[in-house]
Structures are given as C-alpha cells and as structure tokens.
Amino acid sequence: MGLVGPLRLALRTTLAGLLTFALGHVLKLPQAYWAVLTSVIVVQASVATSLKAVVDRMLGTVAGAVWGVIVTLVVPHHDQVALGATLVLALAPLALMAALRPSFRVAPITAVIVLLSTTGVQLGPVHYALDRVLEIAVGCVVGLAVSVLVVPDRAQGLLADAVAEVLLALRALAETMFAELTRPTDAAAIGATHARLNQTLTRVESLVDELKRERAHRLSDAPDAEPFARTLRRLRHDFTAITRAVAEPLPPPTLHHLADAVGELRRALSTYLTESAVAVRERRPPPALVVVDHAMLGFREAMDRLRQSGTLRQLTIEELERVLSLAFALQQLAIHLADLAERIAEHATTRLAAGDSSTSSTRRTEGERAS
C-alpha cells in the first residue's frame, strides 16, 4: 500500500478538522476546539475503527459529564480541601470503570473538566456539561462522516493487504528453510521472518475484528474473515514445525533420496505463495495447486523410496524423529494450502464496497486484463 494509505488518512484528518472548525463557527459553539479535537481523534485508518472511536468518545463523554454534574451539584467544595475530596469522589468510580472497560477512558477526563473548569463555575455545571456533550457530538458526527465519505479505507481492503503480507512472509520462510539441507538454517533470518509473520498475523486478527464491526453496522457485505485468519494460523503452525525439523542439516544418508524433492518443493511453494499474495490483493481466483501437489507427491514418493531402502534404520532416534516430523508437517501443509485456495476463492467472489481503495480497484482491473 506504500504511502497511499497514510496520505489518505492525512487528507481525511485534515478535512475533518477544517470542516468541524467551520461548523463550530457557524453554530457558535463556545469552545469549538473540543469539537475539532474530537473530529481529529475519531478519524482512524479504517471506517470500522472510526466508528468504534465515535462510540467510545460519546459513551465516555456522556458518562463523565453526567457524573461530573452530579458530584459538582451534590457535594459542597468551597475550599481547597473539600475540592480535593470532591475530585477523588468524581475520579475514583470513573477511573475504575475506565480500567474495566476501556471504552469509558474519556469519562474521568470529562468529569474533571466539568468539576474544575473556571468556565463551568461561571456557566453552571449543567450548562457547561451540555456544551461539552454538544461539541463532542459535533466532532464525532463530522469525523465519522468524513471517514465514511472521503476516500474511505474499508477493513476488507486493508485485510487483503495484510493477508498478502502474511503469504509473502511464508514464502520467505520456505525460501530460507529449504535453501540448503546440508548445513544449519540461517537462524537469524528465520527468526526475523517469524517475527515479521507474527506481527502481520496480529494485524490480520485486528482487521478481522474491524471487518466484523463493519458487517454488524452494514458497512460491508464481505463474508466473515475468521476462516481466512484461522487458515493462516494453521499455515504458520505448519511452517513452525518445518522450521524445527530442518533447523539442523538432514541426516546425510537421507539426502540422496530427499534433496531433489525438497528443492522442487521449495520452488513450487515460493511460486504458489507469491501468486496467492497477488490473487488476494487483486481479488482474483487462487492460482492452480497442480505444481505444489506434484511437488508434494514427489516428496512422498521420495519418502517411500527412503523407507524401502532401509536407510531409516541407520538413523538415530533424534534423526529419525526429525525426518518423520518433516514428512508429517508437509502433509499438514498440503491440507492447509488447499484450505487457503478455498479462502482465496471466497475472497475473490466479494466485491469491494463502494468507495473502497482506488488503488485496490486499479490493481484488480489490471489483474483481470492480465488474466
């Protein structure tokens, strides 16, 4: 996605702040900067996160304003000691609520503003609290409207990019793991790729939740992405098992039977995962699994020849365990690659929601022409 996503977010944030500033002037809001700040805060990377920010902001503001007004009106606080005690009473329950439910993290701030603001003393706590709620509401409405209407980034498009990054990380693992079977794998390179893989998978998980939120509010007609995330997790587990099996060189007696098959499998996996990443980004059907299936069949046949040769009886228990673990992990990988193809096919049948990423639309069009 490069700079396109950040530039679009910067555009939305700037426009939201400017529109809120103008609207605050038209409505003659007493402290319009609260509305401007709110609009800037609620404009997020995707529509779903903007919607969540709006809900959290409004819940916290209303709860804090109501409690702040109650404490201010009910508890006398004419001197500094009494004011300190009142502040504790205003903060403690809201701070606990915010700790238990992060959606209310703005509530303590709002209560403190209502209680301690000198403007609030002049206007009265009720009037001042209503002004704050109105200003926050204006900021929320403008921020959400800009997020939805101005070059929006839907969770579906962001998820496609994140899934593609996961597949490219898996491709890098396959290249590194099977690069050289006669010496230990590059632990530093594999560790860095696993870290990148885990980081990107975490992003996929968060975007799955965002997509669920968009679907719940009818902002997207995309299918549930949880099966896609589950398949990626399984592939990560398969590659982790393979990493352990090939961390040390394969036993020399087995290389005569397995080296060529593993090399063919490395090339097939690299090509397939690269093409799958492109297919996900461009919402195209999955690439054919024929080449991978052929390479997997070649490895199974090589394992059969290895068993028939009696070579396995020459291995130590540890060496035998690693060879069989590799065979089992590749068997599981074949199953989960077939699942991946199904997930990509499901993904290809859904269209981008209106207003989704223009760059993704362009990529899809170019992909269709190429195919």
Taking each helix axis from N to C end, the angle separating 290-309 and 317-348, rounded to the nearest 10 degrees, works out to: 160
Nearest partner of 204 among 226, 172, 221, 223, judged by Cα: 226
**CA distance linking residue 113 with residue 125, whole number of Å:** 10
Write the burial class of residue 100 (CB in 10 Å: 0-12 exposed, 13-18 middle, 19+ buried).
Answer: exposed
For residue 230, the model assigns a pLDDT of 93
Which residues of the chain register pLDDT less than 70? 1-5, 118-123, 151-153, 217, 219-221, 350-371
Q: Which of 291, 285, 247, 302 is nearest to 269 (CA)?
A: 291
Q: Which helix (H) or strand (E) holds 13?
A: helix 4-26
How far apart are the C-alpha atoms of 44 and 143, rounded to whole Å?
9
Cβ contact 268:295 at 8 Å: yes
Q: Which two tokens stand for residue 305?
A: 């020849």
So what's the pLDDT on residue 355? 38
Distance CA 20, CA 136 (A): 10
Structure-token pair, residue 312:
């396995």
**Model pLDDT, residue 290:** 95
Q: What is the pLDDT of residue 350?
A: 61
Domains plus CATH for the chain?
4-149 (no CATH), 155-370 (1.20.58)
Q: Does the CA dihedral 226-229-230-231 come out positive or negative?
A: positive
What's the predicted TM-score (pTM) here? Answer: 0.67
Contacts of 290 (CB under 8 A, 6+ apart): none
Whole-number pLDDT of residue 118: 54
* Beta-carbon contacts of residue 188 (< 8 Å; ≥ 6 apart): none
